[in-house]
Amino acid sequence: MLKIKVLVVDDSIFMRKLISRLIEEDVALEVIATARNGLEAIKLVNELKPDVVTLDVEMPEMNGLEALAQIMAQRPTPILMLSSLTQAGASATITALQSGAIDFISKPSGSVSFDLFKVKEELVSKIKQAAQIPVSRMIPSHRAASKVDLRYKDSVQAGLMKEFNQILAIGTSTGGPRALETVITALPASFPYPLLVVQHMPPKFTKSLAERLNKLSGVRVVEAENNERILGGTVYVAPGDYHLTAVHINGEYRIKLNQEPTRNGHRPSADVLFDSITQLKSLKRHFILMTGMGNDGANGMVLAKQTGASSTIAESKETCIVYGMPRSAIELSCVDHTVPLPLITSKILEVTGASRR
């Protein structure tokens, strides 16, 4: 059996040894080399051609973001980022995911995590998953997201009708940050409907994701807060470790967050979000599933379809980083439109009747 060849990159000699040991405890994986910074990583990727690279975010001489950019330009390779659970680490990781990294692992207790064994199963699973992803799906588009004039955005949104008759929900996981950037930044500033998003991520990372998308998008993007009023022209990202739901109370639609048990192994869960949106029967409801491992959202989409969803959309196989969540829904025959990632925004505008202006 051919083993999956892994390059481990971390500035800490202790972490390099620990990560390597955890990886090699799985008989299907082999650490072929280690590197202490981004410069060494680039050299070894070109010389040894690993199947997967684990790349620390914060390193001296050349950090993980700089190394990622050069590796993806010179020899695109599946890359997993290892990040500390800090706001700065989360922000850098979101940038990495939108720049070509496949996924990330959170170090449980900072840059040097003696308890990294806690995420061993996740580390091994994500390495095996990353090794199967075709190179063509890893290379990010070089579309430069325009910087949004926030004053203009605020003025446009102030003029939007806060009442709305349609609502949208998106579920996504592995590959989701890049997919969300593609879809949300293409929405016109005048888009009048709310869009609720579940992206499988821990706390801090979802906040960084929302902040980055808000800077790049014509629509307003926020991390959802409990009991806030839902407004048109706004994207609400579920905070890590909280289920996101929408309810109709006293003539208003509001966000409700909870920490009920995980669904499909996730909190937030797309199924939980979809089930709550399905109950808002006075609205036209649209459901979207994009790249991600597993089947979260598929059962929720079935229920939505059975109870009068206006549209159900799934990202097509050719653009998914991981074709799990959309495939599960398609196999349950509940998808109206199967669409490649670059055309999902156009399909959203079509099914909602919203203008591109």
Kindly list the catalytic residues. Answer: 173, 200, 296
Q: DSSP of 282-296, one letter per residue?
A: TSEEEEEE-SBSS-T
Using CA atoms, how far apart are residues 334 and 323, in angstroms rounded to an integer?
Answer: 16
CB atoms within 10 A of CB 164: 18
Positive or negative, the CA dihedral 116, 176, 86, 196 is: negative
Instruction: Name which of 46, 42, 90 is nearest 66 in CA terms.
Output: 42
Strand bridging mode 166-172 / 284-289 = parallel
Using CA atoms, how far apart are residues 158 and 221, in angstroms rounded to an integer?
Answer: 14
Using CA atoms, how far apart are residues 263 and 319, in angstroms rounded to an integer?
Answer: 26
Amino acid identity of 285? R
Containing H/E element for 86?
none
Q: DSSP of 158-205, one letter per residue?
A: HTS-S--SEEEEEEE-TTHHHHHHHHHTTS-TT--S-EEEEE---TTH
- Degrees (nearest 5) of the Cα angle 286, 288, 291? 175
Question: b vs e for 45-75, b when ≥16 Cβ sit within 10 Å of the residue's Cβ?
Answer: beeeebbbbbbbbbbeeebbbbbbbbbbeee
CA 210, 298, 306, 163: dihedral to nearest 10 degrees? 0
Residue 119 carries which DSSP code?
Answer: G
Using CA atoms, how far apart are residues 97 and 180, in angstroms rounded to an integer?
Answer: 11
Query: SS3 for 50?
Result: coil
